[in-house]
Amino acid sequence: MILIMLGAPGTGKGTVAGILSKELNIPAVSSGDIFRKAIQEKTELGKEVSGYIEKGALVPDELTIKVIESRLKEPDMENGVILDGYPRTTAQAEKLDKFLSEEGKKIDKVINLETPRDELIERVVNRRICSNSDCKTIFNLKLNPPKVEGICDKCGKELIQRKDDNEEVMNNRLDSYFKETAPIVDFYKNKGILSSYEVSQRINRMGVDVAHELISELK
């Protein structure tokens, strides 16, 4: 099974992808996580993408496509994958279709999360993530704070705030998203494989609620 997670930064793609990954027993792959790990480890890839990430700009298509296609060829992808944050542009979506077709595979479902802009900014500014790369549990200081300040409930490691999780960078990221990424919603809608879900405090529906709805549907 191949699933795509779409949605602006802060909509809860990582939360939904993580729950689905565990329940469906297929890996979740986040382009952002791949890039941030490369930056942290100071690899050549990390050096290439750091400037884009820190400014909230999109990493160029050519580089992103190369990284994702390489990851999709790894052995743990054999039974399926949840792609979180990729594709981000129509060009990437077209390249992904071509790549999967050559591999004899196809996308089963595209999940699009929608949240009001003001909520997205508030969520990201208050987001904290487990520093343990094997855990990566996401908390929010207002919506779901950790039991012990600064400590992950699940593994006990330190919680961190991403360098790009601030209001200025978030506004840049949202501008980039709605300009470059939002058009692929129509791309997948026209293919008949897109389902959109509102994730918002105003209707008391969070990512975890959407994830449980999807589990019932996909299993």
Using CA atoms, how far residue 203 sits from 56, 89, 116, 206, 215, in Å, is 28, 29, 11, 9, 21
Q: Which of 36, 95, 123, 127 is catalytic?
A: 127
Rounded to a whole number of angstroms, the CA Rg of the chain reads 17
Which helix (H) or strand (E) segment holds residue 138: the answer is strand 138-140
Q: Which of 36, 95, 123, 173 is catalytic?
A: 173
Q: Which of 13, 36, 95, 128 is catalytic?
A: 13
Answer yes or no: 173 catalytic. Answer: yes
Answer yes or no: 202 catalytic. Answer: no
Give the whole-angstrom CA distance, residue 204 versus residue 219. Answer: 25
Answer yes or no: 117 catalytic. Answer: no
Give the whole-angstrom CA distance, residue 51 versus residue 196. Answer: 32
Answer yes or no: 13 catalytic. Answer: yes
Q: How far is CA 175 from the centre of its chain?
A: 17
Query: If DSSP codes are grouped into helix, strand and coil, which group holds residue 93?
Result: helix
Which is nearest to 182 in space by CA: 50, 58, 1, 15? 58
Q: Which of 88, 95, 123, 128 is catalytic?
A: 88
* Catalytic residue ranges: 13, 88, 127, 162, 173
